[in-house]
Structure 1
Amino acid sequence: MTMAGGSTARRAEGAARDAHNSTWMDRAARAGLVAYAVVYLMIGWLAIQLAFGDREGKPSSSGAMHELAQQPFGDVLIWVVSLGMFLLVLWKLLDAAFGHREEQDTSKRTRARVTSAAKAVIYAAIGLSGLRVATHSGSSGKGGKTWTASLMDVTGGQLLVALVGLAVMAYGGYQVYKAWTGDFADKLDAEGRSGSTGTAYLAFGRAGYTARGVAFLIVGGLIVYGAATHDASKSGGLDQALFKVLDQPFGPVLLCLLGAGLACYGLFTLARARHLGK
């Protein structure tokens, strides 16, 4: 019984490894990246609209889904994009379990796999927000208790929220670091990095990673501020961070630049879908 169970587990693991390296998984990942690019292009567009005074849209992943739903064939678009996000979840879960085997350093391989698992969670959250929009089951969120408010109600919760905020800020800083060191370039294959087209792709990536980094730094800063003041309403997601940018001196100009940068990340992700590297 034990031997049979072990044999079944080995066959299942072998099948999962084969799936991770399969042609269909490669195609699924590329399709998912197209969906992810669409989300970022919509976020960038909503941010630019906000910069020009249109406050109806919500420049976030859920806001992007709502905006897609208002387009022609919007329901179909939402289902397609949501499916794409769940394909990315599958890709990153397999990556977390079996990927990064070329990394000889065990600690670096572990970090890379943990990062893949974290990305799977993010993609799943975006996909679920799309499903809520598609099935009209989501609420506006007004009057609901945020995760920061819930966490601050428990013992030591204020410190935990602050630590989450610092982690988000660290991630944002790392995104800016990647932008200016070009550490993102290996996400494209050699063809995607070559010639004038490759130069344009890398420029999109540099602008996109910088914009994402700045956005995450602001989001993390809001979370830390909310923890420090014990006021969950002070913290928020991407949309609230972009509204904060708008309220600063030269806010519309800064927000327009940030929105363009987020759209550039979408364009880089489209290039990645075509020239998938690491």
Structure 2
Amino acid sequence: MLRTPDGHPGSVVDISSKARRAGDSAEDSPWLDVLIRVGLVAYGITHLLIGWVALQLAWGSSSSGKASSEGAFQQLTSSGLGTAVLWGVAVGLVLLVLWRLLEAAFGHEDKDGTERWVAAGGSLLKAALYGALAFTAFRTLLSSGGGGGGKPFTAQVMSWPAGQWLVVFGGLCVIGYGGLQIYRGVSKKFLEHLDQSGRIGEIGRAYKWFGIAGYVSKGVAVGIVGVLIVHAGWTHEGKDQGLDDALAEVLQQPFGPWLLSVIALGIACYGLFSFARAKHLDR
């Protein structure tokens, strides 16, 4: 027989309802707002670092050679203060993962049926994105600087049944996500993440332009990553393709340093908008 924590008999429904109430309480807690704000600051720092490394790459002064979260985190660990900041960033990203998991399980109560399932799926995908960044941050902190050997992940997937098509499909999903980011930037839908005071006046206007530049630039960069993944799958290339590869591809185009500089500044603007979102959080 199932028993409740106080030793009394209970049913699965009772326990489920109590778990639901506990989850709802956590999701609505003002403390969660504080944790989310900390996480968004960490997310903003991550994008400022990526923008800075990309700008260095554009003009030939990047010491890491990787305009990605990994390259940005590696630059941080070059000093004691930077290492301390990176620990804060890593913890902040974990807080964002917890937020999105709670949101997927107990949030989106204003939606019904399929719409709610889709919204929950989006929250899980965001949790996975933040989790990947957190993993990269912790790996950078705990590693001795050695690179990871072994077979690239893309090559491993290509060896699976229908692996080529899985890689192509994954690349198309990445392109779709990049397109969604561009749409959110152009349509200004990102403003829904700010409370009313964050949308008005001169400050609100600055936030709006940070958001437009940030979402469009990030969408373009992510879209290029997707194109490279699709190309790798279509041509049976086993290379992993990431943000550093996408920005290096931009660098090879006519006026490449200038184009890459614009994208780098845009990614930095996304970081600044993350700070604005932390200050004017509207869930």
Asked if TM exceeds 0.5, the reply is yes
**For the residues of structure 1 that align with 2:43 and 2:37, how far apart are their CA atoms?**
10
- Aligned letter for 1:115? G
Q: Return 5+ residue gaps in structure 2 as ranges.
A: 3-8
- Residue 276 of structure 1 is matched in structure 2 by 281
Equivalent positions of 1:7-22 (< 5 A) are 7-22=14-29
1:139-168 deviation per Cα after TM superposition (whole angstroms, max 9, x unaligned): 423x43222110001110000100000010
Q: Which residue in the other structure is 2:163 paired with?
A: 157
What's 2:84 paired with?
76
- The one-character-per-residue Cα deviations of 1:68-102 (angstroms, maximum 9, x if unpaired) are 21244122112111100000010000000111111
Within the candidate set 116, 120, 132, 2:123 is matched to 116
SS at 2:151 equivalent: coil
- One-letter identity of the residue aligned with 1:149: A
Structure of greater Rg = 2
After TM superposition, list the pairs within 5 Å mapping 1:216-255 onto structure 2.
216-233=222-239, 235-255=240-260
Measure, in 2, the Cα distance between the counterparts of 1:248 and 1:232: 24
Question: Match for residue 86 of structure 1?
Answer: 94
Structure 1 residue 14, shift from structure 2 partner: 1.5
d(CA) in 1 for partners of 2:125 and 2:145? Answer: 24
Please tell me the residue identity of whatever aligns with 2:162. Answer: G
State the Cα deviation string for residues 145-197 of structure 1 (Å, max 9, x = none). 22211000111000010000001001111111111111111011111111110
Q: Distance in 2 between matches of 1:55 and 1:144?
A: 26
Aligned to 2:74: 66
Question: Structure 2 CA distance, aligned partners of 1:72 and 1:41?
Answer: 19
Farther off after superposition, 73-82 or 187-196: 73-82
Q: Which runs of 4+ in 1 moved over 4 A?
A: none
1:65 Cα deviation from its structure 2 partner: 1.4
In structure 2, the residue corresponding to 1:184 is in which secondary structure? helix
In structure 2, what is the Cα distance between the partners aligned to 1:179 and 1:75?
A: 32
Q: Which residue of 2 aligns with 1:48?
A: 55
Matched, 1:144 2:150: yes
**Structure 2 CA distance for partners of 1:45 and 1:202, relative to 1, 3 Å:** same
Q: Check whether the contact 1:191–1:198 (CA below 8 A) recurs between aligned residues.
A: yes
| SS of structure 2 residue aligned to 1:240 | helix
Q: Which runs of 5+ in 1 are unaligned?
A: none
Deviation (angstroms), 1:55: 3.7
Query: Match of 1:48, as an amino acid?
Result: L
1:177 matched to which residue of 2? Answer: 183
Q: Is contact 1:132–1:138 with CA below 8 Å preserved after alignment?
A: no
- C-alpha distance in 2, partners of 1:32/1:64? 17
User: TM-score by structure 1 length?
Assistant: 0.95
CA distance in 1, matches of 2:270, 2:62: 23
Q: TM-score, normalised by structure 2?
A: 0.93
- Matched positions, count: 275
User: Contact between 2:109 and 2:116, CA under 8 Å: does it hold in 1?
Assistant: yes
1:254 is paired with a residue whose SS is helix
Tell me which residue corresponds to 2:201. 195
User: Which whole-Å CA distance do the structure 1 matches of 2:259 and 2:103 have between them?
Assistant: 36
Task: Give the distance between the partners of 1:177 and 1:65, measured in 2 at CA.
Answer: 29
How far apart in 1 are the matches of 2:181 and 2:17?
38
* Contact 1:92-1:117 within 8 A present in 2 as well: yes
CA distance in 2, matches of 1:94, 1:139: 35
Q: Which residue of 2 aligns with 1:263?
A: 268
- The 2-side partners of 1:48 and 1:266 are apart by 14
What is the rounded CA distance, in whole Å, between the counterparts of 2:93 and 2:145 in structure 1?
18
Identity of paired residues, percent? 45
